[in-house]
Amino acid sequence: MTTISSSVTDTSTAPLLQIDNLRVSFRVNKKDSVETVKGISFQIPHNATVALVGESGSGKSVSSLAIMGLLPADTSSIANDSRILFAGKNLLELDREQRRQLCGKEISMIFQEPMTSLNPVFTVGFQIAEVLRLHKGMDAAQARLRTLALLEEVGIPDPARKIDAYPSQLSGGQQQRVMIAMAIACEPKLLIADEPTTALDVTIQKQIIDLINTLRIKHQMSVLFITHDLALVGEIADHVIVMRHGEIRETGTVRQIFDAPQDSYTQALLHCRPSLDTRPWRLPVIADFMQHAGHLPQQKERSRGLDGQEDIVLDVRNLSKSFYTREGLFGKKEFKAIDQVSFRLARGKTLGVVGESGSGKTTVGLTLMRIHQASSGQALFDGEDILALSNKAFLPYKRRIQIIFQNPYASLNPRFTIGQILMEPMHIHQIGANEQERIRLACQLLDKVGLPQTAFYRYPHEFSGGQRQRIAIARCLSMKPEVLICDESVSALDVSVQAQVLNLLQDLQDEFGLSYIFISHDLAVVKYIADQVMVMHHGKVVELANSDTLYQAPQQAYTRSLLNAIPRGLQPLEQQA
């Protein structure tokens, strides 16, 4: 990706948006409240992209919701001396109807998760047309014609057919394009993009970033781009605002932030993400930078790769899985999710599985776990084909092969305490002689993944995403597995929390000799943790090699396209020349 500079930025006029001393508080009970945004001030110039960067809980999204007027009125409040000036008009002084007319027309927003933002019972065409009818006063025919043009503008294939599709019939990237079409329908002056690429694979992420850049220039609008990933910021932003704990830590042009960051927290964000050039023994986390004031001690490099002499724990041969849909009255149509997939997993090593959404990565993991029934093929676990075993015969192998799912918010039972979550598999597999021993084992697991023993009595909703993923890892460890399938297990996490979880996985592998199948769309993370990398496309394996070999000299054009789509941040001037 190339950075598009803001050559049309008009610095001679007042800023499009000016925020002065924004303070936002949320009520936690009848008496107490907590301030999540603590008097921040910043500006968004005309025809420019400003990136708002920080970890979860930094106040980024709350600030954007305050601009849009979407904060819950019953539990939140904005200080009386706060001001949000849009084109010279204080948005906080407008009544509800005036605010509603402005937001959606002059200011619009793309939310992080398109599937929860789009109404599943209406077609995408209806939802885009609704914006046009509401704000532009178009009739049904006019709105449909404009909707077709918008779908074509944002790159939706075959818009004449997709206009009548429901959100569930579109891919994640297409859903996000629909959200962008809806956001630009009224040609707003300010577009707020709240983590619009977090859950997307690298190629779709690149397309969305390029699309936002192109639309910003075409429509001469400003963009507030909210993200936790500074590598993306270098691809799209002109100005950067770094937030932490509701406060602004640093501001500057994107060149200033990347070339000479002044704040240790900014330096930490730049270095927490795995690099494609180095592989330190442990990834640095925020606390390391704050402790050493940005000057980290030198670390030795961790070597990766296989030499062919390793003990093989899992040998997968010609694994295939097909799904069928009804076609006509009696017919059915076959869809091959994975087709003749073969690989060997070495004991104590990591196999990275990469590819775009729909490539079959997750289906491989679910089929090995027998959550999906394989259509054909073998999976030899210490010589035993676990796909051919009866359910009863497979039960002992469930202890030996476990999976960590992508979404830590959905994979933990909200009605169970953490103790119950950790002890449930112990009860099923009869681990521990009695209840006291199981409690002791659960507390040991919490300590192993860096959580206090008091977490035993708490519920999942009381923990952050990174902490929940640690709990999910602890649950897997309760059965002392030999193989752990990590299905996009760090993709939803902030870069600093991601680094903590990756370090934890590496520590566990070093201590227990675990073997990982690490499924991810983030190729920088895979480069850091994997010994071997398997590239999948349309259900087939297109390339399989040691990680350093594959990244340095990819043999297939598809692999090269994936590597070229990795966000690399802002490159030094001499490299751009």
Which residues are within 8 A (CB) of 214 and not within 5 positions of it... i.e. 6 or more apart? none
State the pairing for strand pair 239-244/247-253.
antiparallel
Give the CA distances from residue 455 to residues 460, 462, 475, in Å, rounded to whole numbers and listed in that order.
9, 9, 13
What are the residue ranges of CATH 3.40.50.300 in the chain? 1-106+189-262, 312-410+481-568
Beta carbons of 546 and 532 less than 8 angstroms apart: yes
**Sole residue written with tokens 């009739």:** 139
What are 194-242's pLDDT values in tens digits? 888 876 778 878 888 888 899 899 989 999 999 888 888 888 899 999 9
d(CA 173, CA 200) in angstroms, rounded, equals 7
Residue type present at position 480: K
- What's this model's pTM, rounded to 2 decimal places? 0.81
d(CA 397, CA 206) in angstroms, rounded, equals 40
Collapse the DSSP code of 296 into the 3-class scheme (helix H, G, I; strand E, B; otherwise coil) and give the result: coil
**DSSP string covering 154-189, please?**
TT-SSHHHHTT--GGGS-HHHHHHHHHHHHHTT--S
SS3 letters for 215-283?
A: HHHHHCCEEEEEECCHHHHHHHCCEEEEEECCEEEEEEEHHHHHHCCCCHHHHHHHHHCCCCCCCECCC
Collapse the DSSP code of 130 into the 3-class scheme (helix H, G, I; strand E, B; otherwise coil) and give the result: helix
pLDDT given at position 127: 94
d(CA 242, CA 235) in angstroms, rounded, equals 16
Residues forming a β-bridge with 285: none
Count each helix (H run) and each strand (E run) in the chain, helices first: 22, 21
Per-residue pLDDT of the chain (577 residues; tens, 9 = 90+): 333 333 344 444 789 999 999 999 998 888 888 999 999 999 999 999 999 998 877 889 899 999 999 898 888 899 999 999 998 899 999 988 888 888 878 999 988 777 678 899 999 999 999 999 988 889 999 999 999 999 998 888 889 989 999 988 887 778 888 988 998 888 899 999 988 887 677 887 888 888 889 989 998 999 999 988 888 888 889 999 999 999 999 999 999 998 888 888 888 888 788 888 888 888 888 888 777 765 677 788 888 989 888 999 999 999 999 988 777 777 788 888 999 999 999 999 999 999 887 788 989 999 999 999 999 999 999 889 999 999 999 988 988 999 988 777 778 899 999 999 999 999 988 888 899 999 999 998 898 888 888 999 999 888 877 788 889 888 988 888 999 999 888 876 777 778 888 888 898 899 889 999 999 888 889 999 999 999 999 899 999 999 999 999 999 999 999 898 887 766 554 444 4
Helix (H) or strand (E) holding 392: helix 391-400
d(CA 244, CA 55) in angstroms, rounded, equals 7
Collapse the DSSP code of 461 into the 3-class scheme (helix H, G, I; strand E, B; otherwise coil) and give the result: helix
d(CA 78, CA 503) in angstroms, rounded, equals 39
Q: Is the domain defined by 312-410+481-568 classed in CATH 2.60.40.420?
A: no
The superfamily in CATH containing domain 1-106+189-262 is P-loop containing nucleotide triphosphate hydrolases (3.40.50.300)
Q: Of 69, 65, 62, 60, nearest to 93 (Cα)?
A: 69
Tokens of 281: 């023994």
- CA neighbours closer than 13 Å in the CB half-sphere of residue 212: 36
